Structure 1
């Protein structure tokens, strides 16, 4: 389910997935099929990691990458969950063929 909330989506971002919802900053973003696919990939990742572990792993990996890269944006882009979503957001059939815990391949 897609919901619009400019307050829940952090500044600098246009979308946020929190299972089972996708939050978008603006209504017109519903038309961005690649953004929706990106967020749906995150929903699948969250489902596979029982939601809570997704956020635990996400934050831990971000801290490790922040120490490694000394740059918040670079740390974010190198989180395995984000790498998988960014690299496959353009493939609208990706979720149909995706293997269980595929994000592991992007660590």
Structure 2
């Protein structure tokens, strides 16, 4: 596991503040890119050795999903984005006040 829950929660909340309609895949992609920048997934270079196709650890994927589910339980987000994307993996912020409170509590 490369990610910590507090880091994941902060990032997801900030993503949702900027883009309130989102998807699980988009959020997971954000963290994959972040881990790729840290040279932990994707194409990993270690000295003279390059390893290709290293996936994000399952534990990190499940942590991201857990934080998203926590936000659903807290009624910050609701499954669905619009009439064409009515359920998961899409979701939307439904309580901006709670979103702002959670962002402030993590600063």
User: Taking structure 2 as the reference length, what is the TM-score of the superposition?
Assistant: 0.29
Which is greater in Rg? Answer: 2
Q: Which structure exhibits the higher relative contact order, with contacts defined as CA atoms closer than 8 Å and separated by 6 or more residues?
A: 2
User: Taking structure 1 as the reference length, what is the TM-score of the superposition?
Assistant: 0.29
Q: Which has the higher strand share?
A: 2
Q: Which has the higher helix share?
A: 1
